[in-house]
A = this chain, B = another copy of it.
């Protein structure tokens, strides 16, 4: 979920947004990537694998964002998972915030790039 500028540029900008609740990170780039992969694959196992995480690590991550993900236990496909309506909305809003940031700072970013390239 990094928003980077085009390849070919010698400098790129990486943007990370973290949503923090009560001294504890509740939603950051890693969890957002996991949500996106669950949405894409319909499987917690496949999402974990795509991120190079153990199944248990991915499982523990979704325990901290229960209203966002629904897992199918006891079904034929261990690790079957999908986003709830709230999860899909949260993912979309996070991505929208990221897009808002990238668009709004693009002009200043060009100036900073020129400055740092000398």
Contact = CB atoms under 8 A, between A and B. Distances in A.
Interface of A: 4, 10-22, 26-27, 67, 86, 89-90, 93-94, 96-98, 100-101, 103-105, 108-109, 111-112, 115-116, 118
Q: How many copies does the complex hold?
A: 2
Nearest to A104: B104
A34 to B, nearest CB: 16
A19 B11 CA distance: 7
A101 B105 contact: yes
A63 to B, nearest CB: 16
A95 to B, nearest CB: 9
Contact of A20 (B12, B26, B115): B12
